[in-house]
Amino acid sequence: MSILKGVGVALVTPFNEDLSVDFDSLTKLIEYNINNGTNYLVVLGTTAEAATLSDDEKKQVIEHIIKVNSKRLPLVLGIGGNNTLEVKKQIEEADLSAFEAVLSVSPYYNKPNQEGLYQHYKVLASTGKNIIIYNVPSRTGQNIDADTTIRLAKEFPNLLMIKEAAPNILQYFDILRKKPEGFSLVSGDDEYTLPVTLAGGNGVISVIGQGYPKEFSTMVQLAFEGKIKEAYEIHNKLVEITRLIFAEGNPCGIKVVLAEKGIIKNYLRLPLVAASEGLTAKIKAEMANI
């Protein structure tokens, strides 16, 4: 889907000191990204700490983002889980009128084999909704092999994209070589964004991008234009901060960046905690270098 090209950002959920959702800061975050070149917004992804939001809070966050965005950028909604039929039900019952697609993470904890992963997404495809496969083995405990992705892409046109976050970049390249026309791949790993885009990817669904939307979106656009040297200059400028924000897990690092920029307050919900003092100091120092 060409509309989902470039830099999508997996928005954090800002919290107040009492850990209620900070809607004012969420507004600032959305405006900051819209005004600085982000191409689309991903709502209630893993980075949003969606696992710790109540159903009512999720509904409020969705409604707030739709309202503030006001159709300026395309939207993607995260709906995933390890109960296939429940995920299917949630997709079928969700009001997706404001969204271009659903981002659905592969089943976690259960560790299905490749046939189980195929059957899971086959069921989700039966909803008829546009769905982005999300492969992130570091979180789910199981990798979707490239052959399984290609099998799904060839059989179900509404499985229109994969957010690929396997630790082996060769898997990205295998999918890009073998994928059918009309199926897209975006990087799910910020540091792989540039090489994957240059190899034919559609960009990234990013975490660091919401902290540095102008720089990151410029880098990806330069990659699309084949301006490799200029793109790598930006990549090299951001690579250290990209590594630092994930050093103690996500989204504690990006929340330090956004708090330092005055966009949100630095609070997370348990079981996640704020970045350590040492990591916070390193992030602030690298931000000063940038």
* Per-residue model confidence as pLDDT tens digits over 218-258: 999 999 999 999 999 999 999 999 999 999 999 999 999 99
Average pLDDT estimate for 30-38: 98
Catalytic residue list contains 5: no
- For residue 187, pLDDT beyond 60: yes
What is the spatial distance between Cα 53 and Cα 57, in angstroms, rounded to a whole number? 6
Identity of the amino acid at 118? Y
**Which is it for strands 40-43 and 6-10: parallel, antiparallel or unpaired?**
parallel
What is the spatial distance between Cα 124 and Cα 136, in angstroms, rounded to a whole number? 18
What is the spatial distance between Cα 272 and Cα 134, in angstroms, rounded to a whole number? 22
- For residue 2, pLDDT beyond 90: no
What separation in angstroms does the CA of 106 have from each of 45, 226, 279?
Answer: 13, 33, 30
Q: For residue 1, what pLDDT is reported?
A: 54
Residue in the block written with tokens 């019952």:
93
Q: How far is C-alpha 276 from the chain's CA centre?
A: 24
Q: For residue 150, what pLDDT is reported?
A: 98
Q: Each residue of 130-185: pLDDT tens digit?
A: 999 999 999 999 999 999 999 999 999 999 999 999 999 999 999 999 999 999 99
How much is the mean pLDDT over the chain?
97
Confidence of residue 115 (pLDDT cuts 50, 70, 90): very high
Q: For residue 274, what pLDDT is reported?
A: 98
Residue in the block written with tokens 């005004």:
35
- For residue 129, pLDDT beyond 60: yes
pLDDT more than 90, % of the chain: 99
Confidence of residue 28 (pLDDT cuts 50, 70, 90): very high
Per-residue tokens: 54? 């109540």
- For residue 263, pLDDT beyond 90: yes
Burial per residue of 242-251, b for 16 or more beta-carbon CB atoms within 10 angstroms, e otherwise = bebbbebebb
Q: For residue 221, what pLDDT is reported?
A: 98
Catalytic residue (choose from 40, 118, 121, 134): 134
Q: Each residue of 53-94: pLDDT tens digit?
A: 999 999 999 999 999 999 999 999 999 999 999 999 999 999
Catalytic residue (choose from 5, 28, 58, 163): 163
Q: For residue 52, what pLDDT is reported?
A: 97
What is the spatial distance between Cα 129 and Cα 161, in angstroms, rounded to a whole number? 12
Per-residue tokens: 221? 């656009």
What is the spatial distance between Cα 242 and Cα 191, in angstroms, rounded to a whole number? 7
What is the spatial distance between Cα 74 and Cα 16, in angstroms, rounded to a whole number? 27
Catalytic residue list contains 163: yes
Local structure of residue 21 (DSSP, 8 states): B
CB atoms under 10 Å from CB of 180, counted, come to 10
Closest by Cα among 55, 35, 47, 17 to 206: 47
